[in-house]
Structure 1
Amino acid sequence: MAFLNALFTAALDNNLVFAQLIGMVSVILVAARPQDSWRFGAMIAIATAVAGALGWPLYTQLLQPWGVTFLAPLAYVLVSWTAIVVTATVLGSGKTAAERERLLHVCPIVACNAAVLAVALGNAAVAETLTWDAALGASVGAGLGVLLAVVLFAFVRSRIDERLVPAALRGLPITLVTASLMALAFTGVAGIAGGLFA
């Protein structure tokens, strides 16, 4: 139950992108086309989940006992970088050379974003009271929440007809207005999913 409660709370109630407004810049950059949003959203989701899931035992079993907790951000960047490169390699198999190159060019942005999302650091901050099930649920839920945010934002952004938008709002301004409305929608339903498995 701790896993499911943490999963739904992290994915929907405390969505990193829309409820906490972390990593919005990379979501805007990554969510260009709906076709690409699934691929890049999956890369961010896997990196976030892996960095969070591996970050908790790394912090509690290695960094904390040795007294080098200040190295946690660097360790999480390396863990998320490894997860991203492996995921990009798997997703790029069978693709053209240009698509593989594009995937690998996005890897640094996605890996840093997964570390900046700070799921692993959040799990480490409450490591004394957090169980492994709750840490895993929060990590996977945060990854699913980021995937949901990237895909939803890409689809909404693709539906905006630029011809009907006033000239002053075309481009980045309408994108920011759209992001703020989606963030408002996510905060409007906050608290519902977390209580399902309490």
Structure 2
Amino acid sequence: MTFLNALFTAALDNNLVFAQLIGMVSVVLVAGRPQDSFRFGAMIAVATAVAGAPGWPLYTQLMQPWGVAYLAPLAYVLVSWAVIVVVATILGAGKSVAERERLLRVCPIVACNAAVLAVSLGNAAVADTLTWDAALGSSIGAGLGVLLAVVLFAFVRDRIDERLVPAALRGLPITLVTASLMALAFTGVAGIAGGLFA
């Protein structure tokens, strides 16, 4: 139950993009077409879960006892980058050289994005009260929340007819208005999902 509660709370109640407004820039820039949003959202979801899963034990077992908790952001970037490079190497094993190079070029961007999304830092901030189940559920839930935000934003943005938007609001302004309305919608339902498994 702790895992499910943390999963749904992180995905819906504390959505990193729309509730906490972290990672909004990457969503606004990349969520252009719905077809691309599934791919990008899945990459970020996996990277966020991968960055968050080792974050809690790394913080509680190594950084806190040694008194170097201020190095947590750097450590999370390095750990998530290393894990993502290993996963990309395994995925690119049977592919062409160009495909492998493209995968490895994307790895640092995805790893930094996952660390910037601060799942690991969020887990570390409540490490004293958090269990391993809750930390894992929070990491996976945050990744699913980012996937949900990217896909929903791409579909809503795709449905906006630029011809019907006033000239002063075309382009980035209507995108920001859309993002703010979606953030308001997520804030309006906050607290519902976390209470389902309490």
TM-score (norm 1): 0.89
Q: Which amino acid aligns with 1:66?
A: W
1:2 match: 2
Question: Cα offset for 1:97?
Answer: 7.8
1:165 match: 165
Q: Which amino acid aligns with 1:113?
A: N
Secondary structure of 2:136's counterpart equals helix
Cα distance in 2 for residues equivalent to 1:25 and 1:85: 24
2:143 match: 143
Cα distance in 1 for residues equivalent to 2:138 and 2:6: 5
- 1:137-190 per-residue CA deviation (whole Å, 9 max, x = no partner) reads 111111100010011111111111112211111111111011011111111111
What is the alpha-carbon root mean square deviation over aligned residues? 2.2
Change (3 A) 1:187 1:139: same
Cα distance in 1 for residues equivalent to 2:186 and 2:9: 12
Change (3 A) 1:96 1:28: farther
Query: Are residue 51 (structure 1) and residue 51 (structure 2) matched?
Result: yes
Q: Which amino acid aligns with 1:41?
A: G
Secondary structure of 2:197's counterpart equals coil
Cα distance in 2 for residues equivalent to 1:95 and 1:125: 40
Question: Cα offset for 1:68?
Answer: 2.0
- 1:106-158 per-residue CA deviation (whole Å, 9 max, x = no partner) reads 44333222111111111111111111011111111111000100111111111
2:16 match: 16
- 1:41-61 per-residue CA deviation (whole Å, 9 max, x = no partner) reads 111111111111110011111
**Structure 1 residues without counterparts, runs of 5 or longer:** none
How many pairs does the alignment contain? Answer: 198
Cα distance in 1 for residues equivalent to 2:63 and 2:129: 17
Change (3 A) 1:92 1:182: farther
Secondary structure of 1:197's counterpart equals coil
**108-117 or 141-150: bigger deviation:** 108-117
**Structure 2 residues without counterparts, runs of 5 or longer:** none
- State the identity as a percent: 89
- 1:33-182 to structure 2, matched below 5 A, reads 33-86=33-86, 105-182=105-182
Change (3 A) 1:195 1:66: same
Cα distance in 1 for residues equivalent to 2:122 and 2:46: 17
Question: Cα offset for 1:80?
Answer: 2.2
* Contact persistence 1:46–1:83 (CA under 8 A): no
TM-score (norm 2): 0.89
Cα distance in 2 for residues equivalent to 1:119 and 1:156: 26
